[in-house]
Structure 1
Amino acid sequence: MALTFTLDPAFDRALHDGIIELWADVTDAGGAVGFVPPADAEEIRPELLKHLVSIVEGRTRLLVGRDEDGSVAATAFLALNSHRLMTHWIWLYTVMVHPRHQGRGHGRELMAAAADAARGLAGVEAIRLTCRGGTGADRFYASCGYKEVGRVPGAIRVTDGDDRDDIIMLFPLHGQSSAPVPRPC
Structure 2
Amino acid sequence: MALAFTLDPAVDRTLHDGLVTLWTDVSNAGGAVGFVPPVAADAVRPELVKHLASMTEGRTRLLVGHDANGEVAAAAFLTLNTHRLMRHWIWLYTVMVHPTHQGKGYGRDLMASAAEAARGLDGIEAIRLTCRGGTGADRFYEACGYKEVGRVPGAIRVAEGDDRDDVVMLLPLY
Smaller-chain TM-score bracket: over 0.9
One-letter amino acid of the structure 1 residue matched with residue 114 of structure 2: A
Separation in 2, partners of 1:164, 1:82: 27
Q: Give the superposition deviation at 1:40.
A: 1.2
| Other-structure match for 2:20 | 20
Divergent runs of 4+, >6 A: none
One-letter amino acid of the structure 2 residue matched with residue 89 of structure 1: W
TM-score (norm 1): 0.93
Separation in 2, partners of 1:83, 1:111: 24
- 3-state DSSP class of the match of 1:121? coil
Separation in 1, partners of 2:160, 2:13: 36
Alignment of 1:38-53 (within 5 A): 38-53=38-53
Matched, 1:155 2:158: no
Alignment of 1:63-82 (within 5 A): 63-82=63-82
Q: Give the superposition deviation at 1:20.
A: 0.4
One-letter amino acid of the structure 2 residue matched with residue 117 of structure 1: A
Count matched residues. 174
Task: Calculate percent identity across the aligned residue pairs.
Answer: 76
Q: Give the superposition deviation at 1:3.
A: 0.3
One-letter amino acid of the structure 1 residue matched with residue 168 of structure 2: I
Q: RMSD of aligned C-alpha atoms?
A: 0.4
One-letter amino acid of the structure 2 residue matched with residue 58 of structure 1: G
Separation in 1, partners of 2:142, 2:4: 24
| Other-structure match for 2:95 | 95
Matched, 1:111 2:98: no
* 5+ residue gaps, structure 1: 175-185
TM-score (norm 2): 0.99
One-letter amino acid of the structure 2 residue matched with residue 90 of structure 1: I
Q: Give the superposition deviation at 1:39.
A: 1.5
Separation in 1, partners of 2:99, 2:2: 15
| Other-structure match for 1:181 | none
